[in-house]
Amino acid sequence: MKIEGQTIVVTGGASGIGLAMARRLLDLKADVWVLDRDREAIAEVTRTFAGNDAFHPRLCDVGDELQVARAVSDIDAASQGIDALVNNAAVLHDQALVSKLGGKIKQHSLDDWQDTLCSNLTGTFLMAREVAATMIRDKRHGVIVNISSISRAGNPGQSAYAATKAGVDALTVTWSQELACYGIRVVAIAPGFVETSMTKRIPPMFLDRIQERTPLKRFGTGDELAHALQFVLENEYVNGKTIEVDGGLRF
């Protein structure tokens, strides 16, 4: 797919990896719609890209069916069609299934479990469903890129996050087979540890250990993930696979 002039939606695009991807797409002269549920982050990127007519920020919770349907419908109408979707929006609530600290048993919060599934899995499903429907209706070939994670193989303290990212991988394969007949490719990108606000919440001692175990001895950057997105969008024969960008790290 030629990126220049294409309409591309990036969820969770107001910060972290999503923002790095949005920046690269803008540099490549795409028309970029950023959806995010973080009101402050949306306000910040709105100020940052003020005056750039190719940048369109919108407040949207991808786990809310009505908000997603309205957002996709509005974007489709305003742009005469959506060419690509980057399903990046995700939350992370680090906690063990059950732990014992100071003699007290602590259990994984159901609210955090539900919030993670709603954002990471349901949100991915809702966005893909609505965008694919517009592509099919408009007879428009396109690409759906799901952001997975190295944690999809399982990672201590990340029950909900790991489960959702494994689910994202399964959805990627499923949708790639269902949508190919309409000219829609579906691909996943699985980052390793990347320097973002999400990883900053992880205890430094744990991060040091992970960095030491990574063969390249460093974390990835948002720009390196954005470069992987560019490859996936431009290469028309990549479909149904998860592209790992993790510095060689394995749990």
Q: What is the pLDDT of residues 161-213, one digit of tens each?
A: 999 999 999 999 999 999 999 999 999 999 988 877 666 666 777 777 877 87
Note the pLDDT tens digit of each residue in 40-90: 999 999 999 999 999 999 999 999 999 999 999 999 999 989 999 999 999
For residue 59 the two structure tokens come to 């407040």
For residue 251 the two structure tokens come to 């749990």
> Which of 92-96, 127-131, 245-249 holds the top average pLDDT?
127-131
pLDDT-above-70 percentage for the chain = 97
CB 222 within 8 A of CB 19: yes
Burial class (CB in 10 A: 0-12, 13-18, 19+), 121: buried
Identity of the amino acid at 134: T
Residue 198: the pLDDT is 66
For residue 24 the two structure tokens come to 């690269």
Angle at 26 between CA 35 and CA 200, to 5 degrees: 60
Residue 240: the pLDDT is 98
Give the mean pLDDT of 133-137.
Answer: 97
Helix (H/G/I), strand (E/B), else coil: 90: coil
Mean pLDDT of the chain: 93
Residue 201: the pLDDT is 66
120 closest CA partner among 154, 92, 143, 142: 92
- Mean pLDDT lowest for which of 63-72, 142-151, 209-218? 209-218
Burial class (CB in 10 A: 0-12, 13-18, 19+), 71: buried
Note the pLDDT tens digit of each residue in 15-28: 999 999 999 999 99
Catalytic amino acids? 161
For residue 86 the two structure tokens come to 């980057």
CB 191 within 8 A of CB 150: yes
